Structure 1
Amino acid sequence: MDLDSDEENVVEEDFYAFLNVPKEASKEEINNAYRRLSRMYHPDKHVDPALKEKAEIMFNKTKRAYEVLSDPHRRAIYDSLGTKGLETEGWEIVQRTKTPAEIRAEYEQLAEERAERKKKQATNPSGNITIAINATDLFNPYDDVYYDDEFEDDIISSIPNIEVSSMQFSQSVDFPLTQKDTCTLSGQLQTQNGTGAGGINLSWRHIFSHKSWAEVEMCAGSGPGISFKGFRTLSKRFFWNGGTILQFTPEGIRPGVMSTLAMQIDKYSVGYLSYQGGIRQIFSTQVIRETEKNRYNFSIQVGLPHSYVLMQYTRKLISQELKLRIALKAGTFGGVIEYGAEKKISKFSNLAFSVVCGVPAGVKLKIRLTRASQTYSFPIHLCEEVMPAPVFYATIVPLVLYIVVKKGFVEPFIKEEKSKKLEKQKQDNFNKLLEKRREAMAAQELMQATYNRIRDEESNKKGLVIINAIYGKIIKDASQQGDMEISNDVVDVTIPVQCLVKDSKLVIHERTKSELPGFFDPALGEEKMLHIIYTYHDEPHEVTVADHEPVRLPKTCKCFRLPTFMLLNFAFIIIRSGTGNTAARSFT
């Protein structure tokens, strides 16, 4: 659940979970579930006035869930919009005049139109900030500065001279005009050693089809210019893009041309053949192979001012959201080796660092932070020669800083923010959660007769008997089977779970269990589990499942059998953990 959304902070009813039927349930399955609950909750089944009042509440909820899911039109609205859709004015006409398939299609069309309007309103800003830092004085101190005062000389000379050598800023925004036309306004500004330059670009792109588009761009800065670009899919395996540019300078018009032909070699590999003509004459070829866990890049460039060969390999550790990268590059300028890593630090942010060693570049440390569509780059020049010390520090210091910042600042901040959002969610749903809890306790009270009957029937035929079941915040200890930590945020659900048993079988479908009759959410916004201790053919077993995980008992595979002394020990733990939130029950 994304707690950033205020709309999603509101707890909604899940009719499928309440009836314990799958989302694709047939009309017969819904009818059977309705009849089963009606036998427990119909007011005529109860004589006691207090129970009769509670039964009316539960029966009305059962009836509402049945009325929605048994009506194809209302069910289609509920599947698309949830309970809010059932309360929206105007759907009454729709449900009388359209089929469920048409309702879903219309909703999808409305959603697409809303997305299109949102796209037109969005400017899609993107930017890039690069700040180059010269820190070579850390490892290659300058010795050509002299001071008359020896004391001042010692102090000042001991402080490394670190300076910003250059800065570059670029920003762009999109202005969607129609579904096929988009204008983009972008600007660039750079400065190096006190000398600066900049430019502004305005482009218009028109999409002819999914196979082709064309773009015209006007630029101003170091002389006005105009360019034309295009893209075309030639066949199933080939596509092309290219264009031309005309730069107007005091010396005259400088034309340029660029063209790239790409070929899909196989499912994972693409080859590129590129040419750039004009002031610079460059011819290059590139092959990229990318799989789920690996990425290979091989490039050759021939031209002015440099020619080179590049080989790059990236390893993707998907489970840790981490990428490890190494590259070798050699050419007329010299040779370098680059290695580094990129880590996803949040939903929208990536942090990367790499170390570059080579001749004549020396040693550089590159740090890049990507936040949504904004990129911040910090290339730090550490040494003009390849030396062990800068290579060591460039490799180790970023790792140490990352661990310190993550453990000391990021994780505590994220934990605090999550706690605030959970607390806000609980406050927003406080009254509804109290109502759900009272409803669950009332449902369990109404289930008592059914519980006793089913339990006696299962005991007599040595079938499926639920010894104890708890639902809520349960932390399993993976180091030792059977051990787990039980918080106060749990609820005893032995009665409702036993009432779900039919013909010595228990089936709970893949929905949140907090909406089942007799259940409620004791730990809103946190991970919850259902732990069941049961006997089947007089043999004790236990099972623990996640909130949305389906349950089918008895297990067809070989289950873990719980020793009798552990059953008694677990019963003692359950009884001791009983609080106002926990309806703890002794074993019978």
Structure 2
Amino acid sequence: MDLDSDEENVNEEDYYSFLNVPKEASKEEINNAYRRLSRIYHPDKHLDPTLKAKAEIMFNKTKKAYEVLADPHKRAIYDSLGVKGLETEGWEIVQRTKTPAEIRAEYEQLAEERAERRKKQATNPTGNITISVNATDLFNPYDDDLFEDEFDEGFLARIPNIEISSMQFSQGIDFPLTQKDTCVLSGQLQTRNGNGGGGINLSWKHLFSHKSWAEVEMTAGSGPAISLKGFRTLTKRFFWNGGTILQFTPDGVRPGIMSTLAMQIDKHSIGYISYHGGIRSIFSTQLIRDTEKNRYNFSIQVGLPHSFVQLQYTRKVITQELRLKLAFKFGTFGGVVEYGAEKKVSKHSNLSFSVVCGVPSGVKLKLRLTRANQVYSCPIHLCEEIMPSPIFYATVLPLVVYVVVKKGIVEPFLKEEQSKKVEKQKQNNFNKLLEKRKEAMAAQELMQATYSRVKEEEERKKGLVIIKALYGKIIKDSKDTEVTDDIVDVTVPIQCLVKDSKLILHENSRSDLPGFYDPALGEEKMLLIIYNYHEQPHEITIKDTESIRLPKTSHRTNLT
């Protein structure tokens, strides 16, 4: 469950989960599920007044779920917007003659209009802060004579001189005017060795269609300028973007032009040919291949002041949300080898570091934190020559600091925040959770007759007999799991779902199944099932929304 919002309530009921049918279920599957539950919950099946009252509640829930999923119109609305979509007051719907596809289209249009209204209220701020540090005195002291007599200069003379060599700041905000028109206001400031400058940009972008757009941008700062940019999809595989810029200086108008033609080679590969003309003319070509696990980038640039060849490789470790990078760049400026890693540290944040070894640039360490649309960079120049010690420290130190900070600060903080959110959710939804628990216990009570019948039938034919089923905060492969406050016994409802010695659970949360409730709101839940099949013991533990089909030979155990 997503815990980004502190005000989040218990999820609305999932009708598919309640009926235990897949989201693509046919009308026949829905009818069969309805008949199965009706045999358990129909009030006429129970003579005891207390059980009859409980049965009426469960039968009404069953009937409501069936009425929605069996009606193509209601089902289309429910699939698009959930239960709130069925509450038609305030919504511009629903003509009964419309098809499900037309209903979905109408809701998509309404959702698009609401999204546009929200977009007008958002400024979508973007920013970039770069602070460059000169730390070459750590490994290349400016004056070695200072260390010849440590008593003459004292302790302070031995402290390395680390200074900030440059800073750059940029910030931009969007002003959506309509769904197709957007204005962007941005500004930049930079300083280097005591000298600085900056500028402010105002642009207007118009989207003609999904195939083309145009943009006009005006710049003021170190000389006013105006530029025109555009994009156009030429064919299914080719697209173009380019533009021109006019910069006004005391020496006159300086024109410039840029153009890029791209080609989609295959599903994973794309090629670019670019030209930038003006004061400096540059011609470049680039080939990018991006697959699920690897990314290759090969580029060649010819022009002034430098020409070079560059090859970059990125390995994606998806399970750990990690990217390992390696790059080579050689040209008229010299040569550079760069390696590093990028790690996703939270839902909206990425942290990366890389080590750059080059001739004649020396050794640099680059640190970068990306938080949503904000980028914070800190390149540190460690040494003007390639030496083993700065390479070693630049490689090892960021990894050590990351592990220490993550284990000692970040993970305890996130764990505490998670606990607070879960606890707040439980408090906010305490009454609803009590109601759901009461409802689940009532459902299990109503299932007793069906449970006994199904179990006896399965035992008689040596079929699928559920020995124990638990749902909640279960440690996988634990042999001593018992019912606690955050674990509920669901042996009865699981056995009732068995038909012809088979049990099928679909990719829905179990908490909405009859006889279930969520005993660990906001936390990861598992389902443990211990069962006999052909009088042989079996056991399986699965995640909350993982589909399963029993029995399976792989579930056999040595339990007696």
TM-score, normalisation: structure 1? 0.88
Answer whether contact 2:146 2:158 (CA < 8 A) is retained: no
Task: Rate the CA distance shift 1:11–1:428 in 2: closer, same or farther, 3 A.
Answer: farther
Q: 1:42 to 1:126 in 2, by over 3 A?
A: same
Tell me, in whole angstroms, the C-alpha distance in 1 between the residues paired with 2:105 and 2:247: 51
- Report how far residue 313 of structure 1 moved: 1.9
SS at match of 1:319: helix
Q: Which residue of 1 aligns with 2:58?
A: 58
Q: Which residue of 2 aligns with 1:546?
A: 543
**Aligned counterpart, 2:503:** 506
- Name the residue aligned to 2:184: 184
Q: 1:157 to 1:243 in 2, by over 3 A?
A: same
Cα distance in structure 1, aligned partners of 2:34 and 2:403:
55
Q: Letter of the aligned partner of 2:257 in structure 1?
A: V
CA distance in 2, matches of 1:90, 1:242: 46
Quote the offset at 1:17 in angstroms. Answer: 1.9
Question: Given that residues 476 and 484 in structure 1 are in contact (C-alpha distance below 8 angstroms), is that contact kept between their aligned partners in structure 2?
Answer: no
Counterparts of 2:456 and 2:326 in 1: how far apart (Å)? 67
Mapped to 1, the partners of 2:224 and 2:439 lie a distance apart of 73
CA deviation after TM superposition for structure 1 residue 144, in Å? 7.9
Match of 1:562 in 2: 557
Q: Tell me by how many angstroms 1:484 deviates.
A: 6.6
Q: Deviations over 1:188-224 (max 9, x none)?
A: 1001111110111112222333333222221111111
SS at match of 2:108: helix
- Note if contact 1:10-1:428 (Cα within 8 Å) is conserved in structure 2: no
Residues 212 and 50 (structure 1 numbering): CA distance in 2 closer, same or farther, change over 3 Å? closer
Change in 2 beyond 3 A, CA 1:448/1:369: same
Q: Residue 114 of structure 2 aligns with which residue? A: 114
Deviations along 1:396-443, whole A, 9 cap, x unmatched?
101111111111111111111111111122112211111111111122
For 2:502, give the aligned amino acid: K
AA in 2 matched with 1:163: E
Q: CA 1:275–1:261 in 2, change beyond 3 Å: closer, same or farther?
A: same
Give distance in 2, aligned partners of 1:407 and 1:324: 21
The equivalent of 2:216 in structure 1 is 216
Partner of 2:280: 280
Name the structure 1 match of 2:523. 526
Alignment correspondent of 1:86 = 86
2:483–2:489 contact (8 Å) kept in structure 1 = no
1:515 aligns with 2:512: yes
1:301 paired residue number:
301
Preserved CA contact (<8 Å) 1:165 1:192: yes
Secondary structure at the residue paired with 2:154? helix
Deviation at residue 133 of structure 1 after TM alignment: 0.6
Alignment of 1:62-141 (within 5 A): 62-89=62-89, 94=94, 96=96, 98-141=98-141
Separation in structure 2 between the aligned mates of residue 92 and residue 237 of structure 1, nearest angstrom = 40
Q: Residue 178 of structure 1 aligns to which amino acid in structure 2?
A: T
Give the aligned length: 558
4+ residue runs of structure 1 moved beyond 4 angstroms? Answer: 90-93, 144-147, 149-152, 482-487
Structure 1 letter corresponding to 2:196:
G
The answer to whether the Cα contact below 8 Å between 1:473 and 1:486 also exists between their aligned partners in 2 is no
Q: What residue is the counterpart of 1:165 in the other structure? A: 165
AA aligned opposite 1:475 = I
SS at match of 1:468: strand
CA contact (8 A) 1:217 1:228 kept: yes
Amino acid at match of 1:562: T
Deviation at 1:88, TM superposition (A): 4.1
Tell me the residue number matched to 2:30.
30
SS of 1:475's partner is: coil
- CA offset at residue 450 of structure 1? 2.0
| Counterpart Cα distance in 1 of 2:11 and 2:271 | 51
Answer whether contact 1:175 1:184 (CA < 8 A) is retained.
yes
Encode CA deviations 1:31-85: one digit per residue, 9 max, x unaligned.
Answer: 3333332332233333333323322322332233233333333333332222223
Aligned to 2:20: 20
Match of residue 581 from structure 1: none
Give the aligned partner of residue 572 of structure 1.
none
Whether contact under 8 Å (1:173, 1:186) holds in the other structure is yes
Stretch of structure 1 that moved more, 13-22 or 370-379: 13-22
Inter-partner Cα distance in structure 2 for 1:345 and 1:475: 25
Tell me how large the CA RMSD over aligned residues is.
2.5
Aligned equivalents of 1:40 and 1:231: distance in 2?
Answer: 62
1:227 matches 2:227: yes
SS in 2 for 1:137: helix
The percentage of aligned residue pairs carrying the same residue is 78
1:54, 1:286 → 2: CA distance? Answer: 69
Q: Flag structure 1 segments of 5+ consecutive residues without an equivalent.
A: 568-588
8 Å CA contact 1:476–1:485 kept in 2: the answer is no
Mapped to 1, the partners of 2:389 and 2:38 lie a distance apart of: 78
Pairing 1:350-429 to 2, within 5 Å after superposition: 350-429=350-429
Cα 1:21–1:195, aligned 2, differ >3 Å: closer, same or farther? Answer: same
Distance in structure 2 (CA, Å) of the matches to 1:213 and 1:495: 61
Quote the residue 1:576 is aligned against: none
Mark the CA change 1:15 to 1:278 in structure 2 (over 3 Å): closer, same or farther. Answer: closer
Q: Which amino acid aligns with 2:123?
A: T
After alignment, is 297-306 or 333-342 more displaced?
Answer: 297-306
Partner of 1:573: none
Native 8 Å contact 2:10 2:432 kept in 1: no
Deviation for aligned residue 1:6 = 5.2
Deviation at 1:445, TM superposition (A): 1.7
Is contact 1:474-1:486 (8 Å) kept? Answer: no
Contact 2:8–2:425 (Cα < 8 Å) also in 1: no
Unaligned stretches of 5+ residues in structure 2: none
Q: Which residue of 1 aligns with 2:436?
A: 436
**CA distance 1:320–1:92, shift in 2 (3 Å):** closer
Supply the AA of the counterpart residue of 1:114.
Answer: R
CA contact (8 A) 2:468 2:529 kept: yes
Residue pair 1:362, 1:384 contacting (<8 A) in 2 also: yes
Mean CA deviation greater in 401-410 or 299-308? 299-308
TM-score (structure 2 length as normaliser): 0.93
The alpha-carbon distance between structure 1 residues 559 and 310, as it changes in their structure 2 partners (threshold 3 A), is closer
The equivalent of 1:492 in structure 2 is 489
Tell me if structure 2 keeps the 8 A contact 1:355–1:391. Answer: yes
The CA deviation at 1:377 is 0.7
Name the structure 1 match of 2:319.
319
Q: Between 353-362 and 9-18, report the one with greater CA deviation.
A: 9-18
Measure the CA separation in 1 of the matches of 2:533 and 2:343. Answer: 48
Letter in 2 for 1:127: G
Deviations 1:466-520 (A, max 9, x none): 222222222124xxxx747557222112222222223333233332222222222
- Determine the C-alpha separation between the residues in 2 that align with 1:355 and 1:92: 57
> Relative to 1, partners in 2 of residues 1:289 and 1:70: Cα closer, same or farther, differing over 3 Å?
closer
Hey, what does 1:255 align to over in structure 2?
A: 255
- What per-residue deviation string (whole Å, max 9, x for no partner) do you get for residues 212-271 of structure 1? 322222111111111222223333333332222221111222222222233334443333
CA contact (8 A) 1:41 1:59 kept: yes
Q: 2:189, 2:197 within 8 Å by CA — same for their partners in 1?
A: yes
Taking the aligned partners of 1:150 and 1:502, their CA distance within structure 2 comes to 87
User: What is the CA–CA distance in structure 2 between the aligned matches of 1:559 and 1:150, rounded to whole Å?
Assistant: 73
